[in-house]
Chain A
Amino acid sequence: MSIARKLIFLAVLLMSFTDIQYISATQTKQFTPQKYSENSQEPETEKINSIFHDVENALSSNDVDLLTQHIFKQVKLTLRDAENGYFSENQAIYIIKNYFTTHKVINFKFTLSRISAEPPFATGGGYWNMKGKQEKFQVYITVTERDKRWVLAQFIIY
């Protein structure tokens, strides 16, 4: 292979690799929630309901990704017997994933939600299995608007 081809091949390979990493690392990541419509015509209530629906499904089916997709930039976490405070998107995703590895949810349902409240919130409860022991838990979440989209602002488990 000639020198020129080697150079081009190497450069393209490195660029592709760097590009992939760049896309995943950039701070202005334009995330697209899996089940969340970006249609700006959609009423705000539908968007908020969609988030509540995703969180409920995430907890009841132990599919944490449905929940973490609605975390953007920063979120306040209060987890029973664990972390408490503001965490960045990256940290929060890992903290929540690790938390639900040890706390296996058996069932969960939101019992109350107020979209008209400031900020909109939802609360509910369920049961989980923690080290072989079944326990009751309660969840409280609020959402807020950031960069023209609705995201999780607060996630409390007590």
Chain B
Amino acid sequence: MYINITSIKNALRNSKSTYLILSFCLLILAVSLAFESIYKNYLENNWKVLESSYENDFAYKIQSQFSKYQSATSDAIAQIAQSPEMRELLSGDNNTSRSVFFEYLLSNSIPEITEELYDRNKQILSWAGNRGIITDTSFLTTKVNSVIIDGAIYSYYLISVPVQQNDTIVGYLVGKRFFDVNYPINNRFINNSVFSSTFTAGLDEMRVLNYSSDSSHQSNNDLVSIPLLNFTGGRLGFVFFTKPTLTEKIDVLHDRCTAVNRFILLCIICMVAYKFINLSGRTAKIFLKLIYYTFALWFLRYSLIWLDIPQSIMHISLFDANDFASRFGYGIARSLADLFLSSVFLIVNIYFIASHTYLKRDWASYFSSHKIKNRFILILGVVLFTILLLLLIRGYAAAIHSAVFDSAISYNEPTIVLPPLKIWMMLLSLIFLTGSLVIAVTCFILLIYDIISSQLLSKRNSLTAWITVIAILIIGSILFGISQKNPLLAQGQRAFLILLFTGTSLAVWCDREKILHNVRGNRLLILVVVSVILLVPLLDKTTRNLEHNQIELIANEISIPVDSWLTFLTNTALDELSDQKIRQVLLSADEYEISKLAFSGWANSLLSKEGNNCSVIYFDKNGKTLSEFNIGVPAEKLRGNNAGNLPTQRSVFTEEKPSNGVMIKWYTGYTPLLDGSGSVIGSVLVVVTGGRKTILRSDTPEILRTSISGKNELHYRALIYSEYIDGRLNNTNREDVPKDKLLPHWINEKYLTGNGMWCTDTIEGKLYDTYFFKEQKSPLDGSWFALGIESSNTKEYIYSYLRYLLLYSFISLVIVLLIWSIRSFSGLHYRMSFRGKLLVAFIAISLIPLVFIAFYNRHFVQERAMEATVKYLSEQSAIITSEVQKRYQVNAPVALEGLSDDQCMMIASDLNTDFNVYSLSSIRATSKPEMFDAELLDPFLSAAASLNIIWRGKEYFYETQMIGNYSYVVGYRPLIAENGIIMGVVSVPAIYKQKDIDQEIARSNIYLYMAYALSLGLSVLIGLILASRISSPIRRLREATKRIAKGDLDIKFRETGEDELGELENSFGRMTHDLKHAQDQMLQAQREIAWKEMAKQVAHEIKNPLTPMKLSIQHLQQAYKDRIKDFENVFHQVTTTILEQIDVLSHIASEFSHFARMPQRKLEEVDVHTVLREAVSLFNKYGELEFDLKMNATYSIIHADKEELRRALINIIRNSIDAMNEKGVISISTQSDGKRLGISIEDRGPGMTDESVKRLFEPNFSTKTSGMGLGLTIVKKTIDELGGTITFSSAIGKGTTATIFLPLK
């Protein structure tokens, strides 16, 4: 099956169809414009009616969605609640162990739903999943009941199903689901569009929904509220969405109509572009062909940009500028997807140009046959092309620089085995750009070579020409580098590229000149391999430059004082934390809401976006703390400072305090909160700390970050920050840096004011690329700062290269498969050689087990990482449990009650591990209170941990937990009192160590990648060798068959193997030898026959004139004997006759001599057009003749003997002249298809019969009264020996046409 695009093409070629389609498109466009105008008027005139209709329609859809949501949850819970096992369990006696309930629920857990089991007295028995907030048991009724409860971060939907046994309620099963996220958070862990996306999924209209338990928003006229009802018709809360506005609807209408208009315009533009491509295909002039094609492509590309297609149709992140954007080319690279499209267009264009010039034609012959005498113009041409070539290389370096510096893509992320789509897209774009550069530069170099070798050098010498080319390019490169202010490439790098490209050009040239057999026909492969080799190191180097750039950026931030910014931040936060909503909560006296005030205030303010260490505290009017939220600021220090010392008016001030030997600035803001009448109802304190270390990485956990940030973090490589005072290390963020480290002694000597310096520093035997700098406001004091990153070692370099090579190999395979599929579907056949098939087969056989191994290894690495994590957690939890008990004497439940968050933070700081301590069910103390304030971690001990640690008494237990879409491992150990009773549980979550885990996975991946790449490389290499060796006998047989077809039976195989193919070659050799022998004998016999025939013919022809000669002499003799009177006349007649017959004999001898002659041919490059013109010029003033010459062929060079060819053409022309009696018009025309030259000689003579046409090439056949009939036989022999064909077509009364085809050189 193949797609019949031929008919579509034909339709487009047909002008009439084109105009019809064009008119149709314009009609649709007009209709669309009219429709938009009419519908807009309709909306404006009927908006009042339509508005309520839209609102009601949307409200109905939301309510339906909610009904389905409720029913699904209810059914899931009811299924378990009404099961016989559940009833039996709850009906049992009170001695049933709670572990049984835990086990039952855990074995019947439902995804996304937390289950809580209560007994008949509404006491909690067990649970499964994250409990989150405490359930208010008052809503557990005798019937199914549902309610929505608000937390600080989440709202929960709860459904309660009573468990009945014999009409008696024996318990209650509660299902709890996350309903909404109240916190403006959108990172890789949690997405705040949970509620919206759940209820708008599948709807046509995308609208932001917000949930609220009350209807206070009803006072806002822009919002529509829909009540959410439970099963009994009770109100659960309200969903709010913004009212549809007329402007919004008109905008939607306009967007949709614009999309249609754009599509129509795109169709029109595609038609125009196709016309130009068609025109390019039909024109024979290369220059015009290339111009039309290039214009068509870039006209289409820029039209897509102008029409904003496809981004206006496909709203995907690949069209956003945050991944990549460049202003190059007036918008062709304004996003990642645009870059990809443009690179595809570019490589198609470049390949088209190259395939019509250097990859197919022989410009050397073109140049040699069109000599330019002016050497100045030639030299100027060489110089111009060299400059163009160097500009192209520079432009490419700029493209790679832009791909790294103008993008947020992490190219060297080793934790990811398979990169995401955006990296694939960028890599594909870069490989296309590189391929375009390689093709273009190779063509330029070959062009320069051809100009030099065929035009500038007096004697054609390839070696001299190549040396000259290399010298010109190297010198040009050096001068180019010197003249550039910002060369982007070092001289050495540019020289390497020049040599690489010259090598590529040399390989292509060898292929063209058929010098090396093994590279023949592999020009494209050479270009692809060079593209990959070129791109990988350049991309890697530029990426490392970016890392340095990022470090300098961080250094700049550290060195510039940020007083004004932090002061502004504090002021702004204070405004946000004291707004109307906050005051309303305070006045509401809702204890739970007030307890969460600090966190929700922080979450909704600029503080959370910026991620600074800070603290937010709300006080009541008496100064008592109501709510508190801290990140990185110890609460003790705050209380110590602020209790009883609160100002009475709003104020913002700064103070500097020591912390762990370092001076930290505290930016403090305070404001009283007043009600409507001006009375104080409370106050808020906000503290922001400014420390240099916090710029590197604040203590805000990534999970609490409110948005995905730009490229500030170097994901897998640790950054070392150090401070030096008077040459000695004063402070550092890494424990493995020795405290007695000294500043390198040469730093001060080389310091230039205002500039930082890069150097390689050694710390504990490891090398670090370190950036040393000073604070901008105090450059002359003795303090220095340093930011260091571990230097890349050889393993990492090799890993980078191999990773890219693997990816590119995969991409190349996909492209080849795509091209094959397209050609198959289009009805074209993709011809792959036997060697190619063998190679693909070998690689496929090697790859299949490699893929399995890769999958297994990936699983293995993840398992190993998991094992390492579990082991780490086990060790840490043991140490922490011991430390908690030892340091704070937590050996009894009473002591556990007294354990505080600050005590936990101190242990966590000493041991560098965060942890949580639970009593038997709920959180007691933690080193990360903000995680619980934010409700990201469950304040209740998980069901599985309860079951295993508390009820089953295990010493250690671990499980995987989820936050949003993110999973992490948690390890648990029991806290055992002195009397042996379990009084609590210590948990150590791995969530804070994710970066370390990622680094470990990264290290494992490095080794794996190297192994994969090595395997693939070896497979390809061995496959190439084996395929070549196995297929070489077949190739030799193929070549031999071709030679036999041409008549050459002199075949000898030099080396033959001893296998079946070897036997085949030997048999083939014997067969050809026998054939040759038989052919020789046959030829000999034929020659003998021919000579015999010839001798007969010669004898016959000679006899003809001899007879009249004899008769004439006899007549003369008689006349002389008879002494006739008229003897003089007779003598004259006889001598005339004899002379004529002697001429005939001489002519016969010449003809036969020409026919039999085996001339010494002088084969050379012959321009057929020149020969034709010369032949025609011989007959220019011949009778009343006219010649109509049409030399349509753009290329007419063949390999022939010029004189022999001329004679053949003259013969044919003379036959035409004779046929037309030397008057009339003879039309001579040529055309070529790149492989053959066609010559047509047409006369308007009387024509010939078919019978005559068939016999034209027979010796001695002639339609003329004179001549030997050998002319055309000789002509055919000449044409055949040139590898061409000659045919005649004729019709009586219409004339005859001779058509010759000759192979082009």
Q: Does A132 contact B (CB under 8 A)?
A: yes
In the complex the two chains form, is B242's CB within 8 Å of A77's CB? no
**Which residues in A have their C-beta under 8 angstroms from that of B609?**
78, 84, 158
Query: Contacts A91-B321, A158-B606; is A132 near B387 (CB within 8 Å)?
Result: no
**Which residues in B have their C-beta under 8 angstroms from that of A95?**
321-322, 325
* CB of B815 to closest CB in A, whole Å: 27
Which of B114-122, B419-427, B704-712, B1037-1045 lies at the binding interface?
A: B704-712
In the complex the two chains form, is B564's CB within 8 Å of A119's CB? yes
Listed residue (A78, A84, A133, A154) with the most chain B CB atoms within 10 angstroms of its CB: A84
* CB of A109 to closest CB in B, whole Å: 17
Query: Contacts A74-B553, A132-B247; is A25 near B321 (CB within 8 Å)?
Result: no
Q: Does B610 contact A (CB under 8 A)?
A: yes
Partner of B406, one of A24, A90, A123: A90
**Which residues in B have their C-beta under 8 angstroms from that of A138?**
572
In the complex the two chains form, is B406's CB within 8 Å of A3's CB? no
CA A24 to CA B708, docked complex, whole Å: 31
In the complex the two chains form, is A18's CB within 8 Å of B392's CB? yes
In the complex the two chains form, is B325's CB within 8 Å of A85's CB? no
In the complex the two chains form, is A15's CB within 8 Å of B388's CB? yes
CA A27 to CA B564, docked complex, whole Å: 32
Partner of B335, one of A78, A82, A94, A144: A94
The chain B residue with its CB closest to the CB of A99 is B321
**Which residues in B have their C-beta under 8 angstroms from that of A3?**
370, 372
Partner of B328, one of A24, A81, A156: A24
In the complex the two chains form, is A11's CB within 8 Å of B710's CB? no
Q: Does B45 contact A (CB under 8 A)?
A: no
Q: Does A86 contact B (CB under 8 A)?
A: yes
CA A24 to CA B333, docked complex, whole Å: 12
Query: Contacts A6-B287, A91-B322; is A25 near B398 (CB within 8 Å)?
Result: yes
**A103-146 residues at the B interface, CB under 8 angstroms:** 114, 117-119, 121, 123, 131-133, 138, 140, 142, 144
**Chain A interface mostly helix, strand, loop or mixed?**
mixed
The chain A residue with its CB closest to the CB of B385 is A11
* CB of B221 to closest CB in A, whole Å: 12
**Which residues in A have their C-beta under 8 angstroms from that of B242?**
131-133
**B364-420 residues at the A interface, CB under 8 angstroms:** 370, 372, 374, 377, 380-381, 384-385, 387-388, 391-392, 394-395, 398-399, 401-402, 405-408
Q: Does A100 contact B (CB under 8 A)?
A: no
In the complex the two chains form, is B395's CB within 8 Å of A117's CB? no
Q: Does B1258 contact A (CB under 8 A)?
A: no
* Cβ contacts B542-573/A at 8 Å (1 or 0 each): 00000000100100000011011100100010
CA A91 to CA B242, docked complex, whole Å: 32
Q: Does B320 contact A (CB under 8 A)?
A: yes
Q: Does A21 contact B (CB under 8 A)?
A: yes
Partner of A24, one of B327, B372, B707: B327
* Cβ contacts A29-45/B at 8 Å (1 or 0 each): 00000000000000000
In the complex the two chains form, is B486's CB within 8 Å of A26's CB? yes
**Which residues in A have their C-beta under 8 angstroms from that of B486?**
26-28
**Which residues in B have their C-beta under 8 angstroms from that of A83?**
322, 707, 710
In the complex the two chains form, is B381's CB within 8 Å of A8's CB? yes
CA A158 to CA B573, docked complex, whole Å: 11
Query: Contacts A132-B245, A138-B572; is A86 near B388 (CB within 8 Å)?
Result: no
In the complex the two chains form, is A11's CB within 8 Å of B324's CB? no
In the complex the two chains form, is B398's CB within 8 Å of A27's CB? yes
**A20-66 residues at the B interface, CB under 8 angstroms:** 21-22, 24-28
**B695-749 residues at the A interface, CB under 8 angstroms:** 707-712
**Which residues in B have their C-beta under 8 angstroms from that of A98?**
320-321
CA A26 to CA B320, docked complex, whole Å: 23
Partner of B321, one of A81, A84, A94, A132: A94
**B488-542 residues at the A interface, CB under 8 angstroms:** 488
The chain B residue with its CB closest to the CB of A118 is B561
CA A59 to CA B328, docked complex, whole Å: 25
**Which residues in B have their C-beta under 8 angstroms from that of A86?**
550, 553, 710-712
**Which residues in B have their C-beta under 8 angstroms from that of A133?**
222, 242
**B307-332 residues at the A interface, CB under 8 angstroms:** 320-322, 324-330
Query: Contacts A3-B372, A26-B398, A77-B710; is A11 near B381 (CB within 8 Å)?
Result: yes
The chain A residue with its CB closest to the CB of B184 is A81
In the complex the two chains form, is B377's CB within 8 Å of A118's CB? no
**Which residues in B have their C-beta under 8 angstroms from that of A26?**
398, 486
* Cβ contacts B320-351/A at 8 Å (1 or 0 each): 11101111111000110000000000000000
Query: Contacts A74-B553, A132-B248; is A90 near B326 (CB within 8 Å)?
Result: yes
In the complex the two chains form, is B381's CB within 8 Å of A25's CB? no
**Which residues in B have their C-beta under 8 angstroms from that of A85?**
408, 709-712
* CB of B752 to closest CB in A, whole Å: 16
The chain A residue with its CB closest to the CB of B399 is A25
* Cβ contacts B148-181/A at 8 Å (1 or 0 each): 0000000000000000000000000000000000
* CB of B97 to closest CB in A, whole Å: 51
In the complex the two chains form, is A87's CB within 8 Å of B485's CB? no
* CB of B904 to closest CB in A, whole Å: 31
In the complex the two chains form, is A84's CB within 8 Å of B385's CB? no
In the complex the two chains form, is B395's CB within 8 Å of A22's CB? yes
**Which residues in A have their C-beta under 8 angstroms from that of B325?**
90-91, 93-95
Q: Does B251 contact A (CB under 8 A)?
A: yes
Query: Contacts A3-B372, A11-B388; is A84 near B709 (CB within 8 Å)?
Result: yes
**Which residues in A have their C-beta under 8 angstroms from that of B251?**
132
* Cβ contacts B886-926/A at 8 Å (1 or 0 each): 00000000000000000000000000000000000000000
* CB of B525 to closest CB in A, whole Å: 28
The chain A residue with its CB closest to the CB of B576 is A158
Query: Contacts A95-B321, A121-B564, A131-B248; is A4 near B395 (CB within 8 Å)?
Result: no
* CB of B379 to closest CB in A, whole Å: 12
* CB of B1146 to closest CB in A, whole Å: 50
* CB of A126 to closest CB in B, whole Å: 16
* CB of B551 to closest CB in A, whole Å: 12
Q: Does B1157 contact A (CB under 8 A)?
A: no
**Which residues in B have their C-beta under 8 angstroms from that of A131?**
242, 248
CA A121 to CA B566, docked complex, whole Å: 12
CA A11 to CA B100, docked complex, whole Å: 86
Q: Does B777 contact A (CB under 8 A)?
A: yes
Query: Contacts A84-B707, A132-B247; is A117 near B564 (CB within 8 Å)?
Result: yes
In the complex the two chains form, is B334's CB within 8 Å of A94's CB? yes
**B221-275 residues at the A interface, CB under 8 angstroms:** 222, 242, 244-245, 247-248, 251
In the complex the two chains form, is A90's CB within 8 Å of B402's CB? yes
* CB of A52 to closest CB in B, whole Å: 14
CA A11 to CA B380, docked complex, whole Å: 10
CA A4 to CA B376, docked complex, whole Å: 10
* CB of A71 to closest CB in B, whole Å: 11
CA A88 to CA B244, docked complex, whole Å: 38
**Which residues in A have their C-beta under 8 angstroms from that of B553?**
74, 86
CA A131 to CA B322, docked complex, whole Å: 21
* CB of B941 to closest CB in A, whole Å: 36
CA A140 to CA B1302, docked complex, whole Å: 78
In the complex the two chains form, is B406's CB within 8 Å of A91's CB? yes
* CB of A92 to closest CB in B, whole Å: 8
4 shortest interchain CB distances as A-B pairs: A85-B710, A94-B321, A117-B564, A132-B248
A-B contact pairs, 18 of them (CB 8 A): A4-B372, A4-B377, A15-B384, A18-B391, A24-B329, A25-B326, A25-B328, A25-B395, A26-B486, A77-B710, A83-B322, A86-B550, A86-B711, A93-B325, A95-B322, A118-B564, A144-B560, A158-B606
Contacts A8-B380, A90-B402 known; 10 new A-B pairs at CB < 8 A: A15-B387, A15-B388, A18-B395, A21-B395, A26-B486, A82-B707, A95-B322, A131-B242, A133-B222, A158-B609
**Interface of B toward A, CB cutoff 8 Å:** 184, 222, 242, 244-245, 247-248, 251, 287, 320-322, 324-330, 334-335, 370, 372, 374, 377, 380-381, 384-385, 387-388, 391-392, 394-395, 398-399, 401-402, 405-408, 485-486, 488, 550, 553, 560-561, 563-565, 568, 572, 606, 609-610, 707-712, 777
